[in-house]
Amino acid sequence: MRRRHRIDCKLILVSVLFISLAACGPNPNSASDNSSTANAAPSSRSRMPADPALKSLYIQSCYGCHSAGVANAPRSGNDADWAPRLQKGMDVLLHNTINGISSMPPKGMCIGCSDEDFTQLILFLSGQSE
């Protein structure tokens, strides 16, 4: 029984580490932008909130998946990805963010985020602000 407990603890620790690293992604400030023209709209990878506090939350919790559409996450600023979600309304989007949906963990790895933080992040991600 004790050996089983140790194995369970190790599995839990590995799972927590894996989930923590899932939010990691490429450096959002890197110069590699695949835009073919100078006037091209910013790609999901280069979009960043103007507000420094929101930008920090976005980089820490959202960028890793939403910049590239990892596990079918709606890409930041991509109208086609966000249109069907926006039709459900902000209350549903906020509920799904807080409780998790599909591959997205509860609170999207932003444990300290408030409902207002999530609302601002959703508005940015969906292209409804900035």
pLDDT of residue 1: 55
Residue 41 to residues 48, 81, 123: CA-CA distances in angstroms?
13, 16, 18
pLDDT of residue 44: 74
**86, exposed or middle or buried, with CB in 10 Å at 0-12, 13-18, 19+?**
middle
Q: Which of 8-17, 30-39, 61-70 has the lowest mean pLDDT?
A: 30-39
Whether the Cβ atoms of residue 59 and residue 25 lie closer than 8 Å to each other: no
Whether the Cβ atoms of residue 106 and residue 75 lie closer than 8 Å to each other: no
pLDDT of residue 4: 54
| Beta partners for residue 101, in sequence order | 104
Domain ranges of the chain: 46-130
What is the reported pTM?
0.68
Question: SS3 for 101?
Answer: strand
Question: SS3 for 104?
Answer: strand
Per-residue model confidence as pLDDT tens digits over 39-57: 445 577 788 999 999 999 9
Residue recorded with tokens 């006037």:
39
pLDDT of residue 8: 53
The topology under which CATH files domain 46-130 is Cytochrome Bc1 Complex; Chain D, domain 2 (1.10.760)
**Predicted confidence band of residue 69 (pLDDT cuts 50, 70, 90):** very high
Token duo for residue 115: 């409902």
**Predicted confidence band of residue 12 (pLDDT cuts 50, 70, 90):** low
